[in-house]
Structure 1
Amino acid sequence: MFYSIGRYILLLKAVFKKPEKFNIYFKEVMFQMNYIGMGSLGLISIISTFVGAVMTLQIAFQLNSDLIPKTIIGSVNRDSSILELSPTISALVLAGKIGSSISSEIGTMRVSEQIDALEIMGINAPGYLILPKLIGGITMVPVLVIIAMFLSITGGYIGGTLSGAVTGSDYILGITSDFNPYTITVALVKAFVFGFIITTVAAYQGFYVRGGALEVAQASTKAVVVSCITILAADYFVTQLLL
């Protein structure tokens, strides 16, 4: 484990070396931002909307009491969506979608000796291959999380009103009352950390793969598993630190 952590840190050190040509990196960063952001927008939108709707129904079921005002359903769903559901579920989904793609892409380049060719030409392969993905991840994952927050709360409104679990006026009153903007800051910090984890862990698994197509597939699977575990651990530590 310590060997892997040390090699991971050394890889990050190589990633942040001064790039050879900024214009080449800029084009690749724009491509990765489009791929990570726009390429994942539809999936994140669908998942967030349904998660918000389901959460509203479950909260209404748990708080089914005449002594508890219905507005609590909206406020609980709002805080749960912002603090935990939107950043964490979005990150886990992106770890499966983006992480496996990054790992398999870099792993294929490694086993086909394309990375060796870059290094022979004097190009900083870790920086050229990983840095644009890293910048795209830490930039677009928070954007996707913001969208997920909005859609999750909207999905809660739709699911609650259609099922009759809560009226629209009670739900809106709940999500607007006693709102603490600091919760959004915590969620965005989580999203930034998760974006860093997703891209770097997947790139690490792909960069050091050895063998052939089977090993590339195994590295992609391992990248998703390690990323998900690391995301959940980071979620705990960031929450403990900021709340």
Structure 2
Amino acid sequence: MVQSSQLALNIKNFFIEIGELAYFSSRFFRELFSKPFEFKELLRQCYNMGNKSLGLVLITGFIIGLVLTIQTRPTLEQFGAESWMPSMVSISIVREIGPIITALICAGRIGSGIGAELGSMRVTEQIDAMEVSGTNPFKYLVVTRVLATTLMIPILVFFGDTMALYGSFLVENLNGDVSFFLYFDKVFHAIEYSDLLPATIKTFFFGYAIGLVGCYKGYYCEKGTVGVGIAANSAVVYTSMLLFIIDFIAVFITDIFI
């Protein structure tokens, strides 16, 4: 009996949080098109989230390309299909592996950072002070960060995909003596607009989800300093789940219409 009541309470809290997140999202769009526009803060957030995450994204993408090619090559050799390696790796990385892995990395680095930063501002009453002084903290803190992640994640995915393909090329060059121009000629012949367009569009949704959930968890942080850690941790967990849901919806829609 106790377990069933606890389960019902958890389900109720889950739907309440979904409703609050939906309201938070609607408030973002209302504030997005209202003045004043915080361009300087937006540029600062873009720099912090994009430039400071670039190194991690590049290293991860490079390793993904190496590992994927090393693991796949022996299987293709059994069928004498090594020539298909550039096509297979490029399509896999561009369509799915590159965007979702990069988004998960950014969810861990950027999402948790936003949750911790806004959470600490909430518990130290800095957000309350901004409201009292007449400043709109939602527009300055939330809108700029969500917009920055929405714009920066697609760019980071592009660089991550490029490094992954370069890592794959290095393995092919060492094992099969494949030239740079031959490898990437096969890559560009394999990739079509039907591969690039859906993969690019969904990265904007990935960025939006990372910024929105991180800001939501931090903006409504509770329980003092302990709540800051909870906000950062829950931002990563919720964002990761949301990324997989968005990815599934994107793949499902793409499979139907393209």
Establish whether TM, by shorter chain, passes 0.5.
Answer: yes
Give, in angstroms, the shift of residue 19 of structure 1: 4.2
- Structure 1 segments, 4+ long, off by >4 Å, are none
Aligned to 1:12: 25
CA distance 1:227–1:44, change in 2 (3 Å): same
Gaps of 5+ in 1: none
Aligned to 1:230: 242
Aligned mate of 1:35, from 33, 42, 48: 48
Q: How many residues align?
A: 238
Deviations 1:145-192 (A, max 9, x none): 111111111110012323x1x331464453233331221111111210
Separation in 2 of the partners of 1:150 and 1:119? 44
CA distance 1:173–1:59, change in 2 (3 Å): farther
Conserved in 2, the CA contact under 8 Å of 1:73 and 1:174?
no
Conserved in 2, the CA contact under 8 Å of 1:70 and 1:171?
no
Deviations 1:66-115 (A, max 9, x none): x4432211111000110111110000000000011100010011111111
Separation in 2 of the partners of 1:105 and 1:172? 42
- Asked if residue 82 in structure 1 is aligned to residue 82 in structure 2, the reply is no
Conserved in 2, the CA contact under 8 Å of 1:71 and 1:173?
no
Separation in 2 of the partners of 1:21 and 1:118? 15
Separation in 2 of the partners of 1:14 and 1:79? 38
Aligned to 2:58: 45
Gaps of 5+ in 2: 1-13
Partner of 1:177: helix, strand, or coil?
helix
Identity of aligned residues (%): 31
Q: TM-score w.r.t. structure 2 length?
A: 0.87
> How large is the Cα RMSD of the aligned pairs?
1.6
Aligned to 1:168: 178
Aligned to 1:107: 119
Deviations 1:107-140 (A, max 9, x none): 0111111111222233332222111111111111
Separation in 1 of the partners of 2:137 and 2:27? 9
Aligned mate of 1:132, from 144, 147, 171: 144
Relative to total residues, which structure has the larger helix share, 1 or 2? 2
